[in-house]
Amino acid sequence: MSPSVALLALLVACSGDTASPSAPSTAPPATRELTLGAYTTPREAYGTAILPAFAAAWKAKTGQTVTFQESYQGSGSQARAIVEGFEADVAALSLDPDIATIEKAGLITHDWRAGANAGIVSRSVVVIAVRPGNPKGIKDWADLARDDIEVLTPNVRTSGGAMWNVAAIWGAATRGKAGGPTDVASAEALLAGILGNVKVMDKGARESMVTFETGVGDAAITYENEVIVAKQQGKAMDYVVPTSTILIENPVAVIDANVDAHGTRDLAEGFVAFLATPEAQAAYAKHGLRPVDPAAAPTDLPAVTDLFTVRDLGGWASVQETLFAKDGAYDRALAKAQAGK
């Protein structure tokens, strides 16, 4: 009779609204539900192309109808949301460390890097989006540190894209392809120069692109596929591929704890397997991504003079330690940039 008891009863009633039962011995119901937690950029790739294609393929194979629950937010934020309780069956994130975050929380118990293509489903490169016709003549990383340039890049704490951006700048500098010496101090100086020009630091790559479209900034450091999707939607912009940039590799993993609780393991594993098929890879390609399957790779995306991977920088563990740890190179560069204001 007390309101708090009624509230509790209401809550318990409300929480019993998940789709599939978890009893393994009974046949799965005719309608299944798959929950996807992804980063911001492939919204359209998954939402309009891959998920419907998978639903059709699954129906053809098993006769079951699949519905989806989707969440798109900055890769780091998404990883944390999953750790905090968002019960995604599959995580499609921007970079390896974010899947590792979920693994470290004990929610992923299989070796996800042992899957097809080492768990990677799509690729891209870090580019610089500019206004149509590139009025400020931005050619490479060093131009972003000029006094007359305003830059957009997201927040590394929440956005996977932001981390790729910083890794790209750092890699280009330390490989001697950014027009300066290759020592750490020079790389930091370049990073500081660019960060000092940042106008808005959004939570995710998509937010950053949307901000760019509203007229803020002269350049936005982002995924190549993010720019391509924007242009497909009629937004006026061009992009510049720096001489040296990093190959972005996006991983996907089934989240064991959640699929076992939901009874959706077969569905989730089927989905991840589907992502490696030519059909899914073609869908990625249509949305500006560079697929992992060379056979499906479109030939009209620009070649990169010096394309390096995170492994060339020593792997994610080393990069996170050097760049993104507390008081790492990124923090120091940000502080230097702030001090210069």
Place of tokens 């993104």: 324
- Comparison of 75 and 281: residue with beta carbon closer to other proteins: 75
CB of 84 to other proteins, least distance (A): 4
Establish if 17 lies at the interface with other proteins (CB under 8 A).
yes
Question: Residue 296: which residues within 8 A CB-CB, separation 6 or more?
Answer: 278, 281, 282, 285
Establish if 262 lies at the interface with other proteins (CB under 8 A).
no
- Comparison of 139 and 199: residue with beta carbon closer to other proteins: 199
Binding mask 108-147 for other proteins (x = CB under 8 A): ----------------------------------------
Phi, psi of 32 (to 5 degrees): -115, 160
| Of the residues 32, 38, 39, 40, which one makes contact with other proteins according to CB under 8 A | 40
Place of tokens 């869908």: 283
- Comparison of 63 and 85: residue with beta carbon closer to other proteins: 85
Establish if 325 lies at the interface with other proteins (CB under 8 A).
no
**Amino acid occupying residue 107:** L
- Comparison of 17 and 147: residue with beta carbon closer to other proteins: 17
Establish if 77 lies at the interface with other proteins (CB under 8 A).
yes
- Comparison of 155 and 264: residue with beta carbon closer to other proteins: 155
CB of 152 to other proteins, least distance (A): 10
Give the distance between the most distant pair of CA atoms in the chain.
74
Establish if 60 lies at the interface with other proteins (CB under 8 A).
no
| Of the residues 15, 25, 26, 299, which one makes contact with other proteins according to CB under 8 A | 15
| Of the residues 21, 56, 61, 67, which one makes contact with other proteins according to CB under 8 A | 67
Q: Name the token pair of 103.
A: 């693994």
Which span sits near other proteins by CB under 8 A: 49-57, 139-147, 227-235, 280-288? 227-235
Size of the site for other proteins (CB under 8 A): 58
CB-CB contact of 130 with 237 (8 Å): yes
Establish if 231 lies at the interface with other proteins (CB under 8 A).
no
Establish if 182 lies at the interface with other proteins (CB under 8 A).
no
Site for other proteins in 198-217 (CB under 8 A): 198-204, 206-207, 210-211, 213-216
CB-CB contact of 100 with 256 (8 Å): no
Establish if 236 lies at the interface with other proteins (CB under 8 A).
no
Exposed / middle / buried, residue 132 (Cβ in 10 Å: 0-12, 13-18, 19+): exposed
Binding mask 158-177 for other proteins (x = CB under 8 A): x-------------------
CB of 233 to other proteins, least distance (A): 6
Cα angle for residues 92, 94, 99 (degrees, 5° grid): 65
Buried b (16+ CB within 10 A) or exposed e, 283-310: bbbbbbbbbbbeebeeeebeebeeebeb
| Of the residues 39, 45, 76, 241, which one makes contact with other proteins according to CB under 8 A | 76
Interface residues with other proteins (CB under 8 A) are: 1-4, 6-7, 10-12, 14-15, 17-18, 35, 40, 43-44, 67-74, 76-77, 80-81, 83-87, 101, 155, 157-158, 198-204, 206-207, 210-211, 213-216, 230, 233, 235, 338, 341
